[in-house]
Amino acid sequence: MSPAQSSPLPAERGEGQGEGRLDPTPQPVAPRTHWARLGERGNVFGIKAMLFAARYLGRWFFSLLLYPVMGYFFLFAKAARQASLEYLAHLSAAVPGVKVRPTGWTSYRHFLSMGHIMLDKAMAYAGVIRLEHCVLHDHEVMNDLVQQGVGGVVLAAHLGNLEAIQAISDENSKLRLNVLVHHRNAENFNRILQQVKPDLRVRLVEVADFGPDTMMDLTERVKCGEWIVISADRVPVKSDRTVEVDFLGGRAPLPVGPFVLAGLLDCPVMFLACLKLDDGRYHFFYERFAEKLSWTRATRNEVVQRSAQRYADRVAHYCALAPLQWFNFFPFWKSS
């Protein structure tokens, strides 16, 4: 499951106004292969197969399988390999102290890391990853909001294993999550996840065709104290509504949608990264991103630009903390 951003959103909410639309000057994206056209390399059968291998054959056996499987993708998925090397080059140049270099071996390890995280994603949904396998950093702010019945937006990224948040929701019956995804088969994923874990408190919401009904549904859920989780590091599938930011020493487009959505919902906004560190546990890093994102007609472009840049800076910070856990295997920077 990969969280993703929405298509163009409904009318924006100005201060004291209910009309108008956010229309920052579109930033032209260099011609390249869109991430959505690269396709997902997993399905329901894959999730079941990973769980079977891990549960009945042992994780060590699954790890052995990863070497040839990810080696195959590394050799023949040229675009993904080049994207990995580009990311490693940007990271090593922007963060001199980070211990990665843009070499073939490091890129292969990047692919292997993705494979291990894929298994952990499936294990998180199956309830194998529990709270004792996690370390929570500065989670008190969000926990207090949840206990008070306040909903909001969580900005995330394709970084680490966000699905491990299921382990936290298992321990907190008040935490209800709605993860926005770009999957035509989101209903199938919801169905299989319910089979694997009937009491799952994570709901996948398809946003490829984001419309008024979706917006109304999300608004009601936030009012009821639920949280909307959205990754803001992939450009829209059906729109050029992007904002350009500095990211790891290069210029890159980010989607406007997640920041507009947070403003429209008029709610607290958190940033969350979940990384598997050297101790073998998942570390959840909570940050209060904004009390609310608000703008007037005159300041809306500036607010979105500033929010997107701050988001990019936080993602870069956690990329440096776990260099091989950023999984955007497609041309990301405008210079790609």
The pLDDT > 90 percentage for the chain reads: 51
Strands (E), 127-222: 134-137, 152-156, 177-181, 202-206
What predicted TM-score, i.e. pTM, was given to this entire model? 0.82
Residue 45 CB burial class (10 angstroms; 0-12, 13-18, ≥19) = exposed
pLDDT value for 274: 94
- Give tens-digit pLDDT for 128-173: 788 888 999 998 989 999 999 999 999 999 999 988 887 777 677 7
Beta strand 177-181 with 202-206 is: parallel
pLDDT value for 111: 96
Beta bridge partners of 272: 286
Q: Which residues of the chain have pLDDT under 50?
A: 1-31, 34-42, 185-186
Cβ neighbours of 181 (radius 10 Å): 23
* Helix runs in 95-138, H state only: 104-125
pLDDT value for 10: 44
pLDDT value for 60: 78
pLDDT value for 194: 63
Residue 17 CB burial class (10 angstroms; 0-12, 13-18, ≥19) = exposed
pLDDT value for 79: 94
